[in-house]
Amino acid sequence: MSPLEGPGPRSEGGALASGPRFWRKPIDLEEQVIPKGRVHIVVERCKECEFCIEFCPKDVLRMSARFNRKGYRIPEVVPGREEECTACRHCEFICPEFSIFIEEVKR
């Protein structure tokens, strides 16, 4: 069993501790900042393929009940999860209609 497959560190009560487990920490771990993003959707371009929802690693997007002029449902940011976007741009790269883009923000 490799160090990454092991049970990981335990808290005082014996339960597994939450958070990232490193078997070796990067030298500049304290200096790293996780980027944040703001999702923008061009409503009239969207064709309800749902690729952006499927490929979002943080589950920031969901399909809304609203429709655009073409009759397609459009994605929306899940209320309360706006801060979860890490500006990975998976949604932006996978969108065949170029209807979604990410703005990197400082928080």
Per-residue pLDDT tens digits for 81-105: 999 999 999 999 999 999 999 999 9
Q: Hey, what CATH class is 35-105 in? A: alpha beta
User: What are the residues whose beta carbons fall under 8 Å from the beta carbon of 74, sequence distance 6 or more?
Assistant: 41, 43, 46, 48, 63, 64, 66, 67, 68
Place of tokens 């993003």: 37
Residues with pLDDT less than 70, the chain = 1-20, 22, 107
Do residues 101 and 91 make contact, with C-beta atoms less than 8 angstroms apart? no
Domain ranges of the chain: 35-105
Do residues 32 and 54 make contact, with C-beta atoms less than 8 angstroms apart? no
pLDDT of residue 1: 46
pLDDT of residue 15: 52
Q: Measured between alpha carbons, how far is 47 from 95 in angstroms, rounded to an integer?
A: 10
Q: What is the pTM of this model?
A: 0.69
pLDDT of residue 26: 79
